[in-house]
Structure 1
Amino acid sequence: MDIKPLFGLGGVLIAATMSQFNDQVTAIALTDVSGALGISHDSQTWIESLYVSAEIIGMATSPWLLTTFTLRRWTLFAVALCGASSVLIPFSPNIEAIYALRLLQGLAGGLIIPLLMATALRVLTPNIRLYGLAVYALTATFTPALASTVAAFWTDSVDWRFVFLQTIPLCSLAGVLVWYCLPQDQPRYERFRMLDWRGLLLLVIGTGALSTMLYQGDRLDWFNSRLICVLALVSGIAIPLLLVNEWFHPLPLLKLQMLGRRNFAYGALGLFTFLVIGQSASTVPLRYLQEVQGYRPLQSNLITLEIATLQLAMLPAMALLLDYKRVDSRVVSLLGLGLILASCIGSSFLTIYWNRDQFYFWQLLQAVGQPMVVMPLLMMATNTVASPAEGPFASALVNTPRALAEAASVWFLALIDRWRNALHSDRIIDEAGQDRWRVIQGNGVLPQYPPPLMPNGQPRVLNSLEAFSHAVEQQVTILSTSDTFLILGALTVFLMVVVMTLPARTIPPRILFAKH
């Protein structure tokens, strides 16, 4: 086997990792970045919202465009767009320029991620395809978990500008590897005669409205906002029209007929649900440590670094395990989901006394369980791809729900916070109204919670009213965080039911495709 395309695949992996960092690292470091650039809270919410909206569009359209322009040319374009848009953000003259660059950055990230799966399916023979899927899985499990460590390093140890300037060396290396190592095909510009313009327009309008509604809904008080009502109406009309159009178009952006295959349908639905669970389960402990214990990112990142480090060993190990014909991938998925469920239930017992150390064991279960879910899922989905021509369509259908999962996880956590925070806050205030000092424990003494910290790290002296308010806020956060873990556990149980009912058993690709 020629190893040159493998280096090309490595270049695409570096580019995909970079695009994930542009998303995840920026989201974690957004407070520091916004402070340095003088951006208000309301304005900074649009920085992430615009990125995700553009990312969804890029993931849906990139597979169609790579077939038209060729894999190498399209990858080089996406890498160049990613690097250029990222480097310019720290030097933007105003917020409008930042918004425009984040749109381009999100579009570039969306264009790159599907290229990784398409490249893996193309350059890897069936004998080693599972290891290529492990490479793709790194962007779903390893990179998001590593992002908090990278963000903490740039903001606390170096300079916030490197949140964006980090793209220079990585994009340069990715571009060189792609240029010299990926094969050059003949472009197929005649496909533009059958371009799905109607579908593209509906995709931009529908998914853009949906993702913006999910991101901005909680801040704007949902349907009490005229903007949210308009976005809901637009997405409710445009997305069904998009699905109808894609079903009947001769050369669609999304080949929905592939969802008629049970294992592929599981791949799309399962990856969406898994990412909502995984991203939320990693975000919630960090949020608890920062809001309740006053941790900085550099102090709290070790629990996600634990997840990231284990992926480097677990993903190849899962590829090796699934390569045995006797191993049922559905059983492996159920075992992995069981570990994730145990992690959610164990983490739900958190108290005011929990710090980073108490999360290590439960995050260890997450770190082991995640590759046990995502690797069988990818194998079952890609084994249904019968020919190379279906590869781009498969990549689009798998990656578009993946992008939507990011917006959905933000909405999901915001919904839980609004629902459970209001409930716990009302209960605590009602109880405190009966006896001013009987807040939680019923012993007539105000619980001794850690006081909030000043910018220099020293505890701030509070009067009695401030101490009471701070104690209530902390207890509400603790109770709602516990509820969040339990709800994520319920979502994990739902995915376990899907695994037991939807997918059919499959065999390793080296055996399956050897028969054809």
Structure 2
Amino acid sequence: MITISIMAATLMQTLDSTIANVALPHMQGSLSASQDEITWVLTSYIVAAAIATPLTGWLSDRLSVKRLLAISIAGFTLASAFCGLSETLVQIVASRLLQGIFGASLVPLSQSILLDINPRDKQGQAMAVWGMGVMVGPILGPTLGGWLTDSYNWRWVFFINVPIGALALFGVLTFLPSRAPRHEVKFDAFGFVTLGLAIGAFQAMLDRGEQLDWFGSLEIRIEAIVAALAFLYFLAHTATAGPRSFFRYALLKDRNFATGACFIFVIGAVMYATRALLPPMLQNLMGYPVATTGLVTAPSGAGTMLAMLLAGRLLKRIDARVLLLSGFLISAFALWQMMQYTVVLSVSDIVWPGLIQGFGLGLVFVPLSALTFSTLAPELRADGTATYSLMRNIGSSIGISVIQTLMTRNTQVAHANLAANVSVFNPAMQSLLASGSRLQLALLNQSINQQASMIAYLNDFKVMFVATLLVVPLILLIKPTRQVSDDAVAHAAMD
């Protein structure tokens, strides 16, 4: 019953990583938000989870695991209800921030509890069950989100968490044994606050920059200064605080870990940015129903799960760096396929690149975790796991913001370039302009808008394709190792 309860909580949290993506166009209309504003629904959740995740260990010591898990489930469930009841963009972004804060502890706590309640000879099976549960959420998310939005409305994407959360909370309070808090671990509040402030201000700058003309705006300049100063204070504090620091400087001395952190940053940016781009493209440009959008984007998660299961077996026979290289090249090939998209696409044109990209990323996760933590000292693994997760989340939020900013700007540039050809000096346009038909001109403008948006999407896929290839040479910096970490599958499932 403990396993069922905590897996329900974990599933609820992992579902929210993808379930809202397909509903974004519907939220955009309902909340009167622009295309770049509606992505705040995704980035606010990711940033809040990134900042709050490192607090898990300290809070579990101060409050006890059971109490922290109960508070996290209750808070996440209540925040989900607030998301569904939101009437404005400000309300839903604030609710998503709460979701991220409360949901940050659910996955690491569930893994820790499963290890605690199972004997050592059963821990491998427990991690397999936990890993499958973690992977099922992102796979079901697009399909379930599409069905709920199509059959009811986008608010049920969040309301679905309420019954699941209530059952999980009841199970935890009823069956999970209580343990006294330890109050032993000291928390570096200054390091946490400065890093959180730096990440928050930088994310706000990225999210608001396109609307406010970047550094032409006083707000953007203030956010940039706050982010820079906070990060400088964080670096200075980290360098002088020693072992009491929120961030363990010794982690950077491990070449494999430092390289792996760079890899997971890029993976987070590419993976989440792709998932944020495809649903609006399919629904707004190509007229796909939201339920169909969910179905055609779900195979990406299935490809990831299949590759992770395969990679776990291959690691014992093949150099992890070879698997890593293969995964990145497969992912790059999928992005190259997406660069060939046109405004007319069949279902297979969407499904296969998504499945291939998911497979490539899944092939990266397990060997990357194995290589990243293989040379790390045991006493640094807890901090390493938190930092690894933090880098993935920061990469995801920055990736979504940057790609959406490029999308908005490139659409305007492409529209201006295409509209420049609508002139009396263009022989192909002379008869149309001479007729003066408003209907024909409106249809022409609609076609230009569609083509401009398509060009912008293709440019975004090209940026992600280039970023994926540029990170590949970093594999040369990773030390080869014949020992595969026993925690590799667990770490990979967390990502």
Instruction: Tell me which residue corresponds to 1:284.
Output: 277
With over 3 angstroms needed to count, the CA separation of the structure-2 counterparts of 1:159 and 1:282, relative to structure 1, is closer
**AA matched with 1:393:** D
Offset from partner CA, 1:12-68 (integer Å, 9 cap, x none): 4543332243354335424434655x5555985655554344222212322332344
With over 3 angstroms needed to count, the CA separation of the structure-2 counterparts of 1:117 and 1:483, relative to structure 1, is farther
Of 369-378 and 265-274, the range deviating more from structure 2: 265-274
Instruction: Tell me which residue corresponds to 2:250.
Output: 257
Which of residues 79, 94, 102 is equivalent to 2:96? 102
With over 3 angstroms needed to count, the CA separation of the structure-2 counterparts of 1:367 and 1:40, relative to structure 1, is closer
Rounded Cα–Cα distance in structure 1 between residues aligned with 2:217 and 2:425: 38
- 1:406 Cα deviation (Å)? 2.4
Instruction: Tell me which residue corresponds to 1:199.
Output: 191
Of 111-120 and 487-496, the range deviating more from structure 2: 111-120
Give SS of 1:29's match: helix
Offset from partner CA, 1:381-439 (integer Å, 9 cap, x none): 2334543x544312220111122122212222124324533443333233333745648
**AA matched with 2:212:** L
Residue pairs, 1:305-454, within 5 angstroms: 305-322=298-315, 324=316, 326-387=317-378, 390-433=380-423, 435-436=425-426, 438=428
Instruction: Tell me which residue corresponds to 2:478.
Output: 502
Matched, 1:168 2:162: yes
Instruction: Tell me which residue corresponds to 1:228.
Output: 220
Offset from partner CA, 1:334-390 (integer Å, 9 cap, x none): 111111111111221122322433222222211221110111112222334543x54
Matched, 1:57 2:51: yes
**AA matched with 1:77:** I
**AA matched with 1:215:** D
Matched, 1:148 2:124: no
Q: Percent identity?
A: 22
**AA matched with 2:339:** S
Rounded Cα–Cα distance in structure 1 between residues aligned with 2:431 and 2:363: 47
Q: Is this contact kept in 1: 2:336–2:465, CA < 8 A?
A: yes
Rounded Cα–Cα distance in structure 1 between residues aligned with 2:88 and 2:465: 43
**AA matched with 2:336:** I
Of 330-339 and 347-356, the range deviating more from structure 2: 347-356
Rounded Cα–Cα distance in structure 1 between residues aligned with 2:124 and 2:213: 47
Give SS of 1:104's match: helix
Of 262-271 and 309-318, the range deviating more from structure 2: 309-318
Instruction: Tell me which residue corresponds to 2:491.
Output: none
Of 494-503 and 173-182, the range deviating more from structure 2: 173-182
Of 298-307 and 182-191, the range deviating more from structure 2: 182-191
**AA matched with 2:469:** V
- 1:234 Cα deviation (Å)? 0.4
Offset from partner CA, 1:203-223 (integer Å, 9 cap, x none): 332221112222222233322
Give SS of 1:84's match: helix
- 1:477 Cα deviation (Å)? 1.9
TM-score w.r.t. structure 1 length?
Answer: 0.81
Rounded Cα–Cα distance in structure 2 between residues aligned with 1:497 and 1:474: 37
TM-score w.r.t. structure 2 length?
Answer: 0.84
Q: Is this contact kept in 2: 1:81–1:104, CA < 8 A?
A: yes
Rounded Cα–Cα distance in structure 1 between residues aligned with 2:93 and 2:395: 22
Rounded Cα–Cα distance in structure 2 between residues aligned with 1:25 and 1:137: 17
Rounded Cα–Cα distance in structure 2 between residues aligned with 1:430 and 1:128: 65
- 1:505 Cα deviation (Å)? 3.0
Rounded Cα–Cα distance in structure 1 between residues aligned with 2:462 and 2:374: 34
Q: How large is the RMSD of aligned CA atoms in angstroms?
A: 3.5
With over 3 angstroms needed to count, the CA separation of the structure-2 counterparts of 1:511 and 1:280, relative to structure 1, is closer
- 1:137 Cα deviation (Å)? 8.8
Residue pairs, 1:461-500, within 5 angstroms: 463-500=439-476
Q: Is this contact kept in 2: 1:49–1:212, CA < 8 A?
A: no
- Flag structure 1 segments of 5+ consecutive residues without an equivalent: 447-460
Pairs aligned (count):
481
With over 3 angstroms needed to count, the CA separation of the structure-2 counterparts of 1:275 and 1:52, relative to structure 1, is closer
Residue pairs, 1:69-108, within 5 angstroms: 69-91=63-85, 98=92, 100-108=94-102
With over 3 angstroms needed to count, the CA separation of the structure-2 counterparts of 1:110 and 1:340, relative to structure 1, is same
Rounded Cα–Cα distance in structure 2 between residues aligned with 1:511 and 1:46: 33
Rounded Cα–Cα distance in structure 2 between residues aligned with 1:366 and 1:328: 21
- 1:259 Cα deviation (Å)? 2.5
Rounded Cα–Cα distance in structure 1 between residues aligned with 2:59 and 2:280: 39
Rounded Cα–Cα distance in structure 1 between residues aligned with 2:254 and 2:176: 31
- 1:118 Cα deviation (Å)? 5.2
Give SS of 2:104's match: helix
With over 3 angstroms needed to count, the CA separation of the structure-2 counterparts of 1:332 and 1:178, relative to structure 1, is farther
